[in-house]
Amino acid sequence: MDRQKLGAELKRIFPPERVLTSELERRMYSYDSSFMARFHSFVPDAVVLPQSTQEVSALLKLASQHRIPVIPRGAGSGETCGCLAVRGGIVVDLSAWDTIEEVDVANMQVFARPGVVHYKLNEHLAGFGLFFPPDPGSTRMCTVGGMVANNSSGLRAVKYGTTEQYVLGLEAVLPDGQVIQTGGANDCRALKNVSGLNLTKLFVGSEGVLGIITRIRLRVWPRPQARGMAMAVFSELELAPAAVLDVYQSGILPSGIEILDTSAIQAINMYKPEINLPSAEAILIFEVDGNPAGVAWEGQQIAEIVGRHAVSVEWATDPARMADLWRGRSVVAVAAARLRPDGSRIFAGEDISVPLSRVAETLRRIKELSRKHDVAVVNYGHIGDGNIHTAPVINLDSSAEVQRANALVDDIHRLAIAMGGSTTGEHGVGAVRNQYAVDEHGEAALVMKQLKETLDPLNIMNPGKLFPPEGGKDRA
Amino acid sequence: MPEDLEGLKEQYLRCVRCGQCRSVCPVFEAVKNETATPRGKVFLAHLLATGEIKANTQVQAQLSRCLLCRSCSKECPSAIPVHQIVSAARAELVCRAPSPVKRMVFRHIWTRPRRLALAAGLTRQIQILGLDRLGLSLGLLPPGFALPGRLPRRAARATIPAITPAAGKTRLRVGYFLGCSTNFLFPGVAESTVAVLSRLGCEVVIPPELKCCGLPQLASGEADAAVNLASANSEVFRRLNVEAVVSDCASCTAALKESPEFAGIKVIELSELLLELLKEYNPGLQQITKPVTYHDPCHLSKAQGITAAPRELLRLICRDFREMDGASDCCGSGGTFALYHYQTSMAILDKKIAAIKKSEAEIVATSCPTCIMQIRHGLTGHGCEIDVVHTVELLERALGRET
Ligand SMILES: Cc1cc2nc3c(=O)[nH]c(=O)nc-3n(C[C@H](O)[C@H](O)[C@H](O)COP(=O)(O)OP(=O)(O)OC[C@H]3O[C@@H](n4cnc5c(N)ncnc54)[C@H](O)[C@@H]3O)c2cc1C
Ligand code: SF4
Ligand code: SF4
């Protein structure tokens, strides 16, 4: 169908102001936060902004009829081109559909439309003394729909896990326009439910390739009353994971454990000298939360246990001091670019996940790779669950550097698999890691593909993502 | 000269398109799609710079959807100066595809005080004849044209003397930068500024040859005109030998502080100066009893980082000062923004009005004439009888009549 006709058809489903067809408007949907999107122009044929399940269903019927790709999009904060029209088609921007429909306090759950922004959900829940624990760094922008589709998580995944643990049920529109409720139809509000195949979990992390999520039933938790933080400085990188293991062995489960390596410490000190981190091979930041007495006891224990490995440990419960300690960790993603004056931090190879026992080894290997490819990197991450964020810093104007960065990133992904880990712990696959699907999953990758073909025989839902590309390595 | 698009290349390249700026942009909050995000504007500027898109009215329309409120620049973890990039992109557009009408207004009328006064006089005549209402109802004029309301009969410059001596002992000789909005729309605010400064020991000088501060030109892509204005104005102040320059307009103050031409001239924000003066000499303050709340103008809170001084001042003179929710959220005025994007501007304003109502204040104080205009318009539209005043007007009341 030509674009003009498509626009006209879409305007029969949506009011005209919620259909974007001009070249310029479409172009503004050609990016997310990924490195790859900087070098491609994935411009969709149209953009629609739904406000009801009926609209989404009618859209998918139209798309099926004409075999037009449909690409769901939240805030576009993803790092994988997941929400981009790599094969053309209609982008469905769900971020404006952002109503929190109900907080069911008695049943500890909340019902939301997909566009609700994560921090706004938690602001709203705070009024009820509740919270939705996963805490991605993108809290200020990412949508809960995007979080479910990517199974997102954050610093506190150590204790609170990932989004999947909280999704009780979904309303989803399948590629043919059929609307289903997972986790129990008939307004099910059960917290435990093991009846039937778990379609909810199938949709969590499906990155928009199975259908569009239009309503989300989330479990919520009581807010912890107290928090405390410890910062430990290490003279040798290997001592840091050992300290983490000792803490776990002592029966303590911190809410977050973060690591900064030498490069990260250096970058932070260059960016904000006033933070003034001690130069060291590694710094660990522990966070514990819970009731005030428990937090105090756990803090003391951590200080004592970690103190056996560390050069120094500092324990803090004063909010101002905690904010100071946390600032170092929170500015690192941005600070990375300071490693060189003409440098930009890129999001590529940024999210591998390895076994806890091999974190130190992986960090050393990444440093070697960085030297081999002559690309500066900053390393930090959620050491508590083995999730390492590597930030390559390059001059985007130099095509030689871009090429070297791509080679480095490929090596980092392969390193993760070799270590018995995964190419991505949080950000997902999209169109930037799908070439590793078979290496990572073996035969299971083919079963995934069969499932996809069953639900989406016409391959209109977010094509070019998640599954290995046909005929080899063509990206997208 | 403000940085041009080429000069800002390193900045826009550093944008990682994370989208965090979506969380603070008032225009995005009202429009609710990606085309209105700060990130999108940086992206467009980038395309414009590389020549991937041509300068045309569509690009111009997209880039015009920015209040230059700087909320995004402040929020951005990578410290991308989005507002500068938008201004530079606008300049690029003006250069490649100038709009004759806007050129005429911003370059040839607004830069010359006499012509501007004539235009204001003409506007008033049109209003008296009711032609503006006719034009509005026939859709010949954009709805934003109604915003300023009926212009006062005489502009401030026509009534206030060029030099007002200090009421008592002279502590300071200040140059008062009487900006266009205050001059034409709120001569009463100008009178209060002069009266208060004088009461607190300032000799107040208003040089008659002052021109516009240059902000409207900068915002509409006429960067070189802005530079010319700044250098003419700075010359004037240098010749006058004043110890400091103040303005009751947050936007003018920000523009003066930021223009390199003003290097070496001490520009002080009005509420900070007033607090300082009051600390040295307090002639006694009567308390305002009605509940008062404060709206932070973007050009004060975000451009100059000043939020404490106006509050401290208000707490000195108000028995019941109370914060509204989102006091530093933009009111949607953004200079001429409302003229082009009335609906969006009003959607942004609605949130502000709701916050004011919720505060149950009876007086809203702020420090920028365009914010006063916008908030008054909103309150009237919502049928609220809440006063909107400049902080300096409240201080004048608190100082009471001169004896
Ligand atoms: C600075 C920064 C920090 C980040 N930190 C973290 C972090 O700590 N942890 C983490 O997990 N991620 C993080 N991310 C990645 C990203 O923010 C998350 O993956 C987020 O959940 C994406 O949400 P979004 O609304 O932006 O989705 P988008 O980027 O718009 O889309 C992501 C994917 O979800 C699909 N999708 C979106 N909505 C729907 C829907 N309603 N139905 C079906 N499919 C849908 C899209 O098709 C796409 O495949 C970070 C990103 C940035 C830029
Ligand atoms: S301007 Fe800043 S906040 Fe916005 S997308 Fe770019 S880097 Fe992120
Ligand atoms: S300056 Fe204000 S209006 Fe303009 S893009 Fe930034 S936040 Fe939006």
Q: Which of B213, B220, B222 is nearest to B1 (CA)?
A: B222
Of B16, B22, B47, the CB nearest to A345: B16
Q: Is domain B156-279 annotated with CATH 3.40.50.1860?
A: yes
B125 pLDDT tier (thresholds 50, 70, 90): confident
Q: Is the CB of A153 under 6 A from ligand 1?
A: yes
- The domain spans of chain B are 9-96, 101-146, 156-279, 285-398
Distance CA A413, CA B336 (A): 51
Helical ranges in B270-336 per DSSP H = 270-280, 298-301, 308-317
Residue to substitute from A141, A268, A272, A427, interface B, most B β-carbons within 10 A = A141
CA of A138 to the centre of ligand 1 (A): 8
Q: What is the pLDDT of residue B12?
A: 92
> Per residue in A271-322, pLDDT tens?
878 778 888 999 999 999 999 999 999 999 999 999 999 999 998 888 888 8
Q: Rounded to the nearest whole angstrom, what is the distance from the C-alpha of residue B361 to the centroid of ligand 3?
A: 28
- The residue extents of the domains of chain A are 3-93, 100-222, 226-334
Which pLDDT value is given to residue B1?
A: 62
* Mean pLDDT, residues A245-256 taken together: 95
Q: What is the CATH number of domain A3-93?
A: 3.30.43.10
Average pLDDT over residues A248-263: 94
Does the beta carbon of B83 lie inside 6 Å of ligand 3? yes
Torsion of CA A312, A318, A320, A324, to 10 degrees: 20
| Contact present, B12 and B20 (Cβ < 8 Å) | no
Average pLDDT over residues B211-225: 87
Q: How many CB pairs under 8 A join A and B?
A: 77
User: Scanning every residue of chain A, which has its alpha carbon at the shortest distance from the alpha carbon of B32?
Assistant: A96
Ligand 1 center to residue A462 CA distance, Å? Answer: 14
* Between residues B140 and A95, the one the model is more confident about: A95
Q: What is the mean pLDDT of residues B227-250?
A: 92
Quote the CA–CA distance of B94 and A105 in Å, as a whole number. Answer: 56
Which residue reads 């880990």 in tokens? A421
Residue minimizing CA distance to atom 7 of ligand 3: B25
pLDDT for the residue numbered A466: 95
Which of A38, A42, A53, A150 gets mutated to test ligand 1 (max ligand atoms within 8 A of its CB)?
A: A150
A 10 A CB-CB count for B154 gives 11
The superfamily CATH assigns to domain B9-96 is Alpha-helical ferredoxin (1.10.1060.10)
Q: For the purposes of burial, counting CB atoms within 10 Å of the CB of A308, is it exposed (0-12), middle (13-18) or buried (19 or more)?
A: exposed
pLDDT at B140: 66
Q: Report whether A183 contacts A177 (CB < 8 A).
A: no
Residue B216 vs residue A43, higher pLDDT: A43
The response to whether residue B394 sits with its C-beta less than 6 Å from ligand 2 reads: no
Q: State in words which class domain A226-334 has.
A: alpha beta
Beta carbons of B33 and A22 less than 8 Å apart? no
Interface touch B23/A138, C-beta < 8 Å: no
Contact A141 B22 (CB under 8 A): yes
Quote the mean pLDDT of chain A. 94
User: What is the amino acid identity at position A207?
Assistant: E
Class in CATH terms, A100-222? alpha beta
d(CA B256, CA B258): 5
pLDDT of residue B403: 42
- B402 has a pLDDT exceeding 70: no
Mean pLDDT of A33-62: 97
Q: What is the mean pLDDT of chain B?
A: 90
Pick A330 or A400 by higher pLDDT: A400
Question: Pick the residue with more confidence: A55 or A315?
Answer: A55
Give the pLDDT band (50/70/90) at residue A473: very low
pLDDT at B138: 67
What's the pLDDT at B401? Answer: 61
In this structure, which ligand is nearest to the CA of A461? 1
| ipTM associated with this complex | 0.93
Q: Give the mean model confidence (pLDDT) for residues B119-124.
A: 74
Structure tokens at A404: 């070297």
- Pick from A28, A140, A345: CB nearest B23: A140
What percent of chain B clears pLDDT 90, i.e. is strictly above it?
67
Mean pLDDT of A366-376: 96
Of ligand 3's listed atoms, the one at least distance from the Cα of B83 is 1
pLDDT at B217 over 80: yes
B10: contact with A, CB 8 A cutoff: yes
Q: What is the pTM of this model?
A: 0.92
pLDDT tens digits, A4-24: 999 999 999 999 999 999 999
pLDDT above 60 for B158: yes
Q: Give the C-alpha separation, A476 to A469, whole Å.
A: 7
Query: What angle is formed at CA A470 by the lines to CA A467 and CA A471, rounded to 5 degrees?
Result: 140
- What distance in Å separates the CA atoms of residue A364 and residue A266, rounded to the nearest whole number? 17
Say which range, A450-454, B28-32, B184-188, B197-201, has the weakest mean pLDDT.
B184-188
A75 CB neighbours in chain B (<8 A) are 19, 22
Multiple choice CATH, B285-398, 2.60.120, 3.10.590, 3.40.50, 1.10.760: 3.40.50
3-state secondary structure of B349: helix
Q: Is the pLDDT of residue B313 over 70?
A: yes
